Structure formats: structure tokens, C-alpha cells
Amino acid sequence: MNIEMPTLPYAANALQPVISEQTIGFHYGKHLQNYVNALASLVKGTEYEGKSVEDIVKTAPDGAIFNNAGQILNHVLYFTQFRASVKDNKPSGKIAKAIDEAFGSFDEFKTQFSQTAATLFGSGWAWLSQTPDGKLVITKEANAENPLRRGNNPLLCIDVWEHAYYLDYQNRRADHINDLWQLINWDEISSRMK
Ligand code: MN
């Protein structure tokens, strides 16, 4: 992944009403653009210039370069994991099998993941990732953290920074999380598995 804006795989209004066009305008158009601009400027003349976003996330010490790289990686994976709303949206194939093996059922996985995202204190992310031995795990990550930093393969995320949902849901974080499940593009999540 280069230090640049990803292309959205859907129209800016395609995720409404769960994620409004206005939220895409600010969250993708302003917040993510600012992280991209900041990192491009911060790496100039450093050992990180020319490196991929993933390499910077894995190797940069805590600080501004890591924070901006982490937020770019997080948001690229976030914005490219959605598609227009699907009723009774469910995974299939290898991701469905891996979820059943790790959590017992898709419903149990959703409950645990939603609970993790709803109870994260402050700003951060809930992640589903794959450990090096292929097991699926749910983690809470503060601020710009990403499971990749600890050697896991990130698959699916929920952004619980308030900028992700406040325009559409105000303080109702749990409702936002519950509604996001209908937007997940499980084919995309499955394609991220190793
Ligand atoms: Mn965000």
C-alpha cells in the first residue's frame, strides 16, 4: 500500500442511511486525506520515505509517523470492506468456516465483536485478525493501533472514533455498530485471509 488515497469501491451515497454521504465526505474526504497528507510530509528525508504503509506500521516507533501510517492502513481496510446494504448479510465459504471454528457461530462472533467495539473506551478500533497460525481473534486497539503491528493479519474492523458515527448516530455507538453488519462485504474479508 502506497501513501495515497484509496478509491472507494462504491458511490459516496451507497452506504446510506448507516453511513451517510456527509459522513463519507468528512471521514474519507477530510480525515483520511489529512492522514495521507501528513504522512507524505512526515516521511520526507527519513528512513521511511519510499516504504509501504504496512512496513511503516510494522517498524516505526510510537509517534507521529506511526500514528498517521496506522490510521491510513486502518481506514483503507475500513472503507474498502463495505458494500451497499444486504438483508440478512452473512459470510460464506472459508471465512464463514473459520468464524464458526473460532467462535462457534456467526451470531456468537457478531455478539462478541459488537461488544468489543461498544465497550472500547475512548478512540480506537475493534479488529478481527488472523494469528500467524491462522486462528481468528478479536482485539481492541487504541487510537491508531493495528493488529499488523503484533504480527497478525487484519481482516475486518469497526472504527469507534466518534468521527466515524457522530453525524449519523450521535452518542448511539451501539446502534451504529449493530447496523454496520448489513454493509460488510464478506467476499472482500475472505480475500484478505492468508
Ligand atoms: Mn476514522
Arch. (CATH architecture) of 93-191? 3-Layer(bab) Sandwich (3.55)
Separation of CA 163 and ligand 1 centre (Å): 6
pLDDT classification of 183: cutoffs 50, 70, 90: very high
Separation of CA 94 and ligand 1 centre (Å): 28
Separation of CA 102 and ligand 1 centre (Å): 27
Separation of CA 135 and ligand 1 centre (Å): 26
The residue extents of the domains of the chain are 21-79, 93-191
Q: Residue 100, exposed/middle/buried by CB under 10 A (0-12, 13-18, 19+)? A: middle
Separation of CA 9 and ligand 1 centre (Å): 17
136/57 Cα distance (integer angstroms): 21
129/88 Cα distance (integer angstroms): 23
pLDDT classification of 161: cutoffs 50, 70, 90: very high
Separation of CA 91 and ligand 1 centre (Å): 24
- Helices 173-180 and 106-118: crossing angle, nearest 10°? 150
Give me the pLDDT at residue 103, please: 98
119 touches 177 (CB < 8 A): no
Give me the pLDDT at residue 49, please: 97
Separation of CA 35 and ligand 1 centre (Å): 10
Q: How far is CA 19 from the centre of its chain?
A: 14
User: Could you read off the pLDDT of 107-160 as tens digits, one per residue?
Assistant: 999 999 999 999 999 999 999 999 999 999 999 999 999 999 999 999 999 999
Separation of CA 174 and ligand 1 centre (Å): 16
Separation of CA 75 and ligand 1 centre (Å): 6
Give me the pLDDT at residue 169, please: 97
Separation of CA 19 and ligand 1 centre (Å): 12
**182 DSSP 8-state letter:** G
pLDDT classification of 180: cutoffs 50, 70, 90: very high
122/188 Cα distance (integer angstroms): 28
Instruction: Report the CATH number of the 21-79 domain.
Output: 1.10.287.990
- Which residues have CB atoms below 5 A from the ion given as ligand 1? 159, 161, 164
User: Could you read off the pLDDT of 54-111 as tens digits, one per residue?
Assistant: 999 999 999 999 999 999 999 999 999 999 999 999 999 999 999 999 999 999 999 9
Give me the pLDDT at residue 176, please: 98
Give me the pLDDT at residue 185, please: 98
101/111 Cα distance (integer angstroms): 15
Residues 6 or more apart from 35 whose CB is under 8 A from it?
68, 71, 72, 75
